[in-house]
Structure 1
Amino acid sequence: MSDATRFSKPVRSMLQLKHVLVDLLRCAVGNGETASFWYDSWNDMGKLINVFGMGGPCHLQIPREATVKEATRNGSWYLPPARSRKQKRCKSGPDVYLWRNASGLFVTEFSSKATWNFLRTRSLQVNWSSVIWFKEAIPRCSFIVWLALLARLPTRDRLRRWGIMVPGECVLCSQEPETLDHLFFGCSFSSGIWGAFSAGLGLQPSQSLLSVAGSISGTPALCGSAKGVLARLLFQERNSRIFTSTFASMASTKSVIDRTIRDCLFSFPAANVSSPSLLELYFLLLSPAM
C-alpha cells in the first residue's frame, strides 16, 4: 500500500478540519502584530491565501510570513496601487482571536460545548433520553442500553444477517431465536430477573425496551424522584448484565446485579437528614423481593 493511499483519509480529515476552523475561528485585529496577513481569518473573506491562491504573496508583494501590521504603513494598507480604495486601519491594542459560539456570534472564550452545538445537526429529543443519561448512571451500562434502544446491539439474529455463522438460538434459554425483544423480555431467564427487580418499584411486565423506558420516564411517581433513579439504574444494569452474561444461573446473575447496584448507590449520600439515601431506599423497596 502506497503512502498516498495509506494517509489519504487522515489528510482529507485534516483538510475538512481546516475548512471548519475558517468558520469557527476569527482574529479581531488590534495592532496587527501577531495576526498573519495570509493565514489568519481576520476579514470577511476568510484566509487570504485561499482567496488569492499561492501566487498571492508574489502578486501583492507581501511575504507569506507577513503580519497584518507589516502590510500597512501609518495605519493604512501598503499594497500595489491597483487595489480597492476600501481600507481597514489597524487599531491600538493586541490582536484578539475569537471563537464562534452556538448562536453564530464571535466571542473571546472557547467553549467545546458551544462549538459542538454549532457544528452538530440537532435532532428531536427522544422520550427515553433521561432513562439513559443521568448523573447516577454507570457509563458502561448507559452505553449498552443506548445501543439496545437504537436496535444496534449485535444480537444473534443480526449477526446471522451479517453472514456470521453463529447459532440462532437464544444464548440464555436455547429455546427460541435470539432477537432484541426476546433476549430482554421474551426469554424466561431474563423476564424472571426483570420480575424480581421490577416488582418493588411498581413497574409492570413489558414486551419491549421502548415501552419500559417510556414507562419509567412517563410515570409521575418516578420522574425526578429517588425511586426513579433506582428504576433507571436497575433497568440499565439488568439489561447490560443480560447482554454480556453467558451460561450463568439466574440466581448468580441476580446476585451480580444486586451487588453492582449497591456498590453504585453507596457513593450517593442522602440529600438531607429527613430523607433516606438511595441505598436505604433500595433495601427498603427491593430486599423483600430478593
Structure 2
Amino acid sequence: MIQQHFWIKIGDGMQASMWFDKWDVICPLSSLITPRAIANAGFTLYTKVADVYRQGEWGWPDQWLARYLILHNIQHIDLHPRSDKVVWRSSGGKELDYSASSVWEDIRAAQNEVPWSSMVWFPQANVRHSFFMWLLVWNGVKDIAGLSSVANSWDIIYNHLVQFASSKKAVHVIGKLVVSAAGYFVWQERNSRLFTSKKRCVARLTEIILATVRMKLHTMRFKRTSQVERILQEWSLPRGLVVEDDDCG
C-alpha cells in the first residue's frame, strides 16, 4: 500500500532505475518485463532512465513495442540537469515532499472525531502516556488527582473525565495527567513482568506515577485561585508557578 506512493521525480534520469522505480503510472516496468527479456534486449538490471530516453524519444526495441503494447502509453519526459528526487504522491495524485505527516495522511483510516478526543489529546498531555489511557491503576493516585469520589470503574471514570475533556482548569488537567500516567506505567509494569524477572510493588508504582506528573506540573503555569493554592500544597509545587493570567488554572 505504501510502496505505490513512492515516486521518482525525474531530473537528469541518472539515478532512477528504468525497471524498478515508479516514475510513470505503469511502473515499475519489472512487473511487465522479465529480467531475461531485459538482458536479451541488451540492457541490464542497472539501466537508468537516461540510458533509454535519448533525444526526446524512448529507445524501445521494436519487438517490445509489438509485445508490450502498454509501452506506447508511457509519457515523454523532460530531462533536466538536476538529480532525480524521491517524492510522495498522494492518493489524490499530488506530488509532495516526503515526510511523516504526508505518509500518515494517506495511509490512515480517517474517522469522525470522537467525543473523548480532548480527554486524551490535550496541550499538557504526555503523548506516550495518552496512548495507554485504557490501562488504569486507580487506588493510591485518585485522591491527589481530585478524583476520590469517582468509583473504580472505567465507565464511571470515562464518564467523569469526558465532561471536562476540553477544560483547562488545573484540577481537570491534573486528573487527565494522573489517569494517563497510571495507565502507562501499569502497561510498562505488565510488560516487565511478562518478559523479565523485574517487579515493582504498588507503592513504588504509585510513587513513580505521582513523581512523573509532578515533574510535568513544574513545566506549567497556574492562575491564582483558592483551588490552585490547595493544589500547590498537595503536590508540593513552588509558588513561582502561579501567574496572574494564564490559560491553565
Q: TM-score range by the shorter chain?
A: 0.5 to 0.7
Q: Conserved in 1, the CA contact under 8 Å of 2:141 and 2:206? A: yes
1:234 to partner: Cα distance: 2.9
1:111 to partner: Cα distance: 1.4
Residue 194 of structure 1, aligned match among 131, 134, 142: 142
Q: Does 1:120 align with 2:108?
A: yes
The residue number in structure 1 matching 2:2 is 20
Higher relative helix content: 1
The residue number in structure 1 matching 2:48 is 67
Change (3 A) 1:86 1:61: farther
SS of residue paired to 1:113: helix
Q: Conserved in 1, the CA contact under 8 Å of 2:24 and 2:74? A: no
Deviations 1:84-127 (A, max 9, x none): 555633314133432123x5434241111221232233455443
Structure 1: unaligned runs, 5 residues or longer: 1-18, 149-182, 185-189
Q: Conserved in 2, the CA contact under 8 Å of 1:104 and 1:118? A: no
Aligned residues: 217
Q: Distance in 2 between matches of 1:288 and 1:65?
A: 68
Change (3 A) 1:80 1:259: closer
TM-score, normalising length: structure 2? 0.67
Query: Which structure exhibits the higher relative contact order, with contacts defined as CA atoms closer than 8 Å and separated by 6 or more residues?
Result: 2
1:25 to partner: Cα distance: 0.9
Q: Distance in 2 between matches of 1:87 and 1:239?
A: 54
Q: Distance in 2 between matches of 1:266 and 1:104?
A: 45
The residue number in structure 2 matching 1:229 is 173
1:253 to partner: Cα distance: 8.0
Structure 2: unaligned runs, 5 residues or longer: 190-199, 237-249
SS of residue paired to 1:44: coil
The residue number in structure 2 matching 1:208 is 153
Q: Conserved in 1, the CA contact under 8 Å of 2:214 and 2:235? A: no
Q: CA RMSD in A?
A: 3.8
Deviations 1:4-46 (A, max 9, x none): xxxxxxxxxxxxxxx732x021123344232211121111112
Identity %: 20
Change (3 A) 1:105 1:211: farther
Q: Does 1:37 align with 2:18?
A: yes
Q: Conserved in 2, the CA contact under 8 Å of 1:31 and 1:90? A: no
Which structure 2 residues correspond to residues 131-280 of structure 1 after superposition, within 5 A? 131-138=119-126, 141-148=129-136, 184=138, 190=139, 194-195=142-143, 197-198=145-146, 204-219=149-164, 223-237=167-181, 246=201, 248=203, 259-270=211-222, 275-276=223-224
Q: Conserved in 2, the CA contact under 8 Å of 1:30 and 1:92? A: yes
Q: Does 1:284 align with 2:236?
A: no
SS of residue paired to 2:35: coil
